[in-house]
Structure 1
Amino acid sequence: MTLRIPSAVALALVLSGTGVVAQQDTIRIASPNQVTVLDPIISAAAGNIEAYGQLYARLLRKGADGKLQPGLAESWTISDDGLTYTLELRDAKFSDGTAITAEDAAFSLTRVAKDKNSAYPAGFAPLKEAVAIDEDTLQLTLEHPSAPMLSNLEIFNAAIVSKDDVEERGEEAFATNPVSSGPYMVKEWKPNDRLSLVANPYFWREGLPKIQNVELIEVSDDNARATMIMAGEIDVDRGVPWAQVDEVNGVDGVTVKLEPSTVTYVVLPNHSKPPFDNLTVRKAAAMALDREAITKAVTLGHATVANSTLSNALKYYDPNVQPPAYDPEGARKLLEENGLLGTEITMMIVPASEQIATLLKAQWDAAGFKTTVERVDAGLWWSKLTDADYQVTASWYYNETEDPDLAVRWALCGTCGSNSYYTRYNNEEVDRLTDEALREANEEKRAKLYSRIQQISLDDLSQIPLYYSPFTNAYSDRVKGLSLTPALQWTLEEAELTGN
């Protein structure tokens, strides 16, 4: 049995051995997103994903140019039939100093693909088996070809965990204070307050991370975070409200960056319940919305009006598809002709959606609907959404990679696990095309398949696309080289702090 040194003890040994004092350089990131669990297969919530990126390394990684690069895997080969991936692992260690082996990698990927507690196994659905050929060689066998499999090895839940740590201490202990493989390890976690991290002395990228300490601080109030960044109390504000972008950006020593993302804001109609189980109602609701005016009003012109059910940042996004054009008179006429004028709709919203809800209600009511707003907290919203206990709501989603497979499986596929983002939209042709596109290696053919998926889902009005949003993160000028990637990963391992 391998001796495992708890993170706090390992930290004490590292500090005492190097003469480092407790007051190391620290970067403070305030976010509205909570950290609730540190096991990377358990949750797909934004706050957890951002933490996983610091605690765990993956087999592949994205470079600054957005292209896949070697991570814990130095090299790889793919069989001619696309069913066998063989990866050679580099010499690397976990945060307790023990070797990262192919057995750990096989264990980690099997957990995300097969474990009943895996929150987001979609990217690894084709995985038949992951086995260690020897200490440094991992072999993945697929049930069928998967065009995005390599890029999926870089997403958050493909994190490599210690098999010994999970099995010896148990999943519950692991989920609160794991042995890590990434640039940082847990120093202290105070749920509902902050997750404090310290540099992993065994991180495989020599000389990194450059910043010794990280604090991921939970601050749900947007105004409070803005005040904190302007007062110098934090170094990064994860998500400046649109109305405050110019104010925060105007403060000396602070810069708001509009960073590329795959975030798409949409209206989610429940296809399993009246009135949105009726295509005519969905079409009238779409025609009633001035999406350009909504985008300008909410984002002050910083976002792009959405035309597709897929993000414009994804491969195979089709700029030529379009939802129904804004036509409130046509929407009213459509309702009248079908005996639907005065249709009552209830829109479920969370506090953060208040402005969007106000605009949606005004435009729907002007076209002949009677809209009631149901205000709920985020926890109840999620519960009612997943249980299909709602009529219509507004929300957003993002994609972990530039490949559209996961986005389609999350938002448009009725048989892929999330019931088309819990709208209960189900089109058999879309489901068939989703599987066909996953297996198709030819770029031109994949592009045509995804264009067809986008057109069908718009014709069905699976959702009503609103706008494509960049990230609005504020940074202290003392932070250099830090950004949030479209995959919700902070580039902390390469970032630096200047000054005090």
Structure 2
Amino acid sequence: MGTNHHDLTRRRLLASGATVSAATIAGCIGGNGEGNGNGNGNGNGADDGNGGAGDGQATLEFTQELERDEDFDPIHSNDAYSTQVFKLVFDGLYTWDEGLGLEPQLAVDMPDVERDGTRYLYEIHDGVEFHNGEEMTAEDVAHSFMAFQEEESVNEAQYDMIDSAEVVDDYQVQVDLDHPFGPWELQTMAIYVVPASERETEEDREEFNTNPIGSGPFVWSDFAHNEYVTLERNDDYWGEPMPNLEEITFVDNVDPASRISEIRAGDTDAIADVPNDDFDDLEAEDGVDVHISESPSYMHLTFNCRDDAPTGDADVRRGICHAFSMTDFVESRLENVADPLSAPIPPITNEQWEFPLDDWHEEYYPDYDPDQAQELLDGAVDDDWSPRILAPGDHRGDLAERIVTRLHELGYDGAEAVTLEFGPLLDQTVYNEDPSPDDFQAYLLGWTGGPDPDAYLYNLYHESQEGINQAHFYEGSADFHDNIAAARESADFDERYDLYEDVMIEMLEELPSLPAYSFRNTMASRDYVQDMQAHPMTQQNPRIVSGYSNVSIE
């Protein structure tokens, strides 16, 4: 669930995340559940007079892999799939480059930093207009920073270090933090800027959530709840480049086989999430292009660590983890679309940190050892032990079935894999503040973070996030939660590195959560769709227009 993620959806709300803050920082990642979306929507598909039919109109239909939560206000949304839509309506103070680096968008440059890393001064471009014709000023930027706290957003924890955001003049903002915050310049300051005048009352904000007004390259055009969203090009856009596309419609289709059939038949222009089993065939398909990128996604098997749950015993958790092979599952089931993990951060995040993940995998990561699993579980659980492992109905549901099959082989016939739609799954796990062992003993979810470990370790494992982004109830060592908090309140890289190293090694030893795999971002498009590229951040796909790409219809 930033997005948690983790794309977290905003049913209680994260997610995750990211997941996510709505600023595409973190969020809970949902799965391909049993939703009712059929991917048809009301947009212009390739057979409806799109560029694929040869009439030259620059319109595109994009089929998402999960139903949106239909939350389009960046302050409150924590759903990656709603973010994929509204990121085109809003501009960010900063935006992502081709990878996980930030570059100025509404900001003129990187900020001036004062007061030992607790004061940031931002200058924004003048002459930027919102879609309602009002000029964007520093007041809107200050409002966008403070609204997370003032409106008690589900994303508040990602911004609660902000003490104040003050207007210096029409185009300068001063942001003061309560303490240094390590992830600030890496990702937190990449907020979407919303117009303060459109969000003054709760009634205004309710209207804004499904009729958003930004300053971005596309304008909200048409919307049918749980069916489609259509955006039109903002021909008065202040920035560069101007989008090539005149219109884009987002629909969804949660059935992977149906999505693949649609893109093959030309019934949609582009789809998200190419299943592993279809990847090679679709790559070889005439008329179809496949796009893939590494991502900061983090799939995890997380345990109910409460004292009244059998999985509150670390040996039971270890026994489950030794009962199956995560490596074999990833290599046999997800070889084209995922990378196995060794720690609770994905490899792309570790590029800037260089933790010794390979060494940790060899020393700490539980390998497949059914004899050791049996030894650990014997006496620790009853013979009629019946653990429930909850998961979305996608690859994580397949993994839950794999784990349960291995537990059956050890004689625990009551073990059960339960797949649920994303909302009910979050209600029974992440938002369940007092779960019983019968509710679940483990769950499988995902989170999209970014370039800083804080996005994962704080949101998913700090005690303050119980009932918000996680439900493992892991007490940990005396320093576990303090170290997570201390690392986010420091701007010293070496100090943060040491704190995170202790936290992650403890997690691998005690296993409140088993890192599973990092899911790559995949898309497919008809070959008349030009310059479509997969971005590492799930929430940024499809990257319709940016400094390095500009999608068009041939």
Scaled by the length of structure 2, what TM-score is found? 0.81
- How many residue pairs match? The answer is 476
- Give the SS at the match of 1:55: coil
Equivalent in 32, 55, 66 of residue 65 of structure 2: 32
Equivalent in 405, 409, 431 of residue 362 of structure 1: 405
Pair 1:334 & 2:376 matched: yes
| Higher deviation after alignment, 65-74 or 216-225 | 65-74
Match in the other structure for 1:493 = 545
Instruction: Give the 3 Å change call, closer, same or farther, for CA 114–408 of structure 1 in structure 2.
Output: farther
| Higher deviation after alignment, 253-262 or 487-496 | 487-496
| Higher deviation after alignment, 321-330 or 369-378 | 369-378
Superposition deviation, residue 217 in structure 1: 0.9
Equivalent in 427, 452, 458 of residue 403 of structure 1: 452
Counterpart of 2:387 in structure 1: which amino acid?
I
Q: Distance in 1 between matches of 2:330 and 2:194?
A: 41
Superposition deviation, residue 417 in structure 1: 5.5
Superposition deviation, residue 159 in structure 1: 1.2
Match in the other structure for 2:505 = 455
Q: Distance in 2 between matches of 1:339 and 1:231?
A: 52
Counterpart of 1:136 in structure 2: which amino acid?
Y
CA contact (8 A) 1:408 1:434 kept: yes
Pair 1:115 & 2:155 matched: no
Q: Distance in 1 between matches of 2:225 and 2:237?
A: 25
- Give the SS at the match of 1:224: helix
Match in the other structure for 1:184 = 218
Instruction: Give the 3 Å change call, closer, same or farther, for CA 240–154 of structure 1 in structure 2.
Output: farther
Instruction: Give the 3 Å change call, closer, same or farther, for CA 204–33 of structure 1 in structure 2.
Output: farther
Superposition deviation, residue 318 in structure 1: 4.0
Instruction: Give the 3 Å change call, closer, same or farther, for CA 416–381 of structure 1 in structure 2.
Output: closer
CA contact (8 A) 2:323 2:406 kept: yes
Q: Distance in 2 between matches of 1:394 and 1:472?
A: 24
Pair 1:376 & 2:420 matched: yes
Match in the other structure for 2:29 = none
- Give the SS at the match of 1:41: coil
Pair 1:151 & 2:191 matched: no
Instruction: Give the 3 Å change call, closer, same or farther, for CA 73–497 of structure 1 in structure 2.
Output: closer
Q: Distance in 2 between matches of 1:62 and 1:417?
A: 30
Q: Per-residue CA shift, 1:148-183, capped at 9, x if unaligned?
A: 11233455xx21111111227711111111211222
Q: Distance in 2 between matches of 1:154 and 1:475?
A: 32
Q: Distance in 1 between matches of 2:451 and 2:498?
A: 17
Match in the other structure for 2:515 = 465
- Give the SS at the match of 1:204: coil
| Higher deviation after alignment, 395-404 or 272-281 | 395-404
Identity of aligned residues (%): 21
Equivalent in 139, 157, 161 of residue 103 of structure 1: 139
Equivalent in 225, 240, 243 of residue 277 of structure 2: 243
- Give the SS at the match of 1:276: helix
CA contact (8 A) 1:37 1:176 kept: yes
1:183-262 to 2 correspondences below 5 Å: 183-262=217-296
Scaled by the length of structure 1, what TM-score is found? 0.89
Pair 1:439 & 2:467 matched: no
CA contact (8 A) 2:243 2:551 kept: no
Q: Distance in 2 between matches of 1:204 and 1:30?
A: 28
Instruction: Give the 3 Å change call, closer, same or farther, for CA 497–337 of structure 1 in structure 2.
Output: closer
Instruction: Give the 3 Å change call, closer, same or farther, for CA 71–94 of structure 1 in structure 2.
Output: same
Counterpart of 2:103 in structure 1: which amino acid?
Q
CA contact (8 A) 1:412 1:457 kept: no
CA contact (8 A) 1:33 1:46 kept: no
Superposition deviation, residue 237 in structure 1: 1.0
- Give the SS at the match of 1:493: coil
1:258-277 to 2 correspondences below 5 Å: 258-272=292-306, 273-277=308-312
Match in the other structure for 1:84 = 119
Structure with the higher fraction of residues in helix conformation:
1
Counterpart of 1:441 in structure 2: which amino acid?
A
Match in the other structure for 2:348 = 313
Counterpart of 2:194 in structure 1: which amino acid?
V
Q: Distance in 2 between matches of 1:422 and 1:66?
A: 28
Q: Distance in 1 between matches of 2:91 and 2:441?
A: 39
- Give the SS at the match of 1:422: coil
Q: Distance in 2 between matches of 1:130 and 1:426?
A: 35
Q: Per-residue CA shift, 1:76-119, capped at 9, x if unaligned?
A: 20104111111011121112222111100111111123322x12
CA contact (8 A) 1:266 1:464 kept: yes
| Higher deviation after alignment, 87-96 or 144-153 | 144-153
CA contact (8 A) 1:265 1:394 kept: no
Equivalent in 464, 487, 495 of residue 415 of structure 1: 464
- Give the SS at the match of 2:296: strand
Q: Distance in 2 between matches of 1:395 and 1:484?
A: 25
- Give the SS at the match of 2:463: coil
Pair 1:125 & 2:160 matched: yes
Larger RCO (alpha carbons 8 Å, 6+ apart) = 2
| Higher deviation after alignment, 72-81 or 337-346 | 337-346
Match in the other structure for 2:315 = 280
Q: Distance in 2 between matches of 1:80 and 1:421?
A: 34
| Higher deviation after alignment, 351-360 or 181-190 | 351-360
Superposition deviation, residue 351 in structure 1: 2.4
- Give the SS at the match of 2:88: helix
Q: Per-residue CA shift, 1:417-457, capped at 9, x if unaligned?
A: 65662222233522211122113223233222222111111
Superposition deviation, residue 337 in structure 1: 5.2
Q: Distance in 2 between matches of 1:392 and 1:474?
A: 37
Match in the other structure for 1:10 = none
| Higher deviation after alignment, 145-154 or 107-116 | 145-154
Q: Per-residue CA shift, 1:106-155, capped at 9, x if unaligned?
A: 11111123322x12222212101111111101110110011211233455
Superposition deviation, residue 365 in structure 1: 2.3
Q: Distance in 2 between matches of 1:97 and 1:400?
A: 34
Superposition deviation, residue 23 in structure 1: 8.3
Q: Distance in 2 between matches of 1:89 and 1:339?
A: 60
Instruction: Give the 3 Å change call, closer, same or farther, for CA 62–497 of structure 1 in structure 2.
Output: closer
Match in the other structure for 2:23 = none
> What do you get for the CA RMSD once the two structures are aligned?
2.3
Match in the other structure for 1:351 = 393
Pair 1:46 & 2:80 matched: yes
Pair 1:426 & 2:461 matched: no
Q: Distance in 2 between matches of 1:208 and 1:121?
A: 33
Counterpart of 1:113 in structure 2: which amino acid?
Q
Counterpart of 2:135 in structure 1: which amino acid?
A
Counterpart of 1:310 in structure 2: which amino acid?
I
CA contact (8 A) 1:129 1:140 kept: yes
Q: Distance in 2 between matches of 1:51 and 1:301?
A: 26
Q: Per-residue CA shift, 1:468-499, capped at 9, x if unaligned?
A: 22112212222333334333213212344555
Counterpart of 2:432 in structure 1: which amino acid?
D
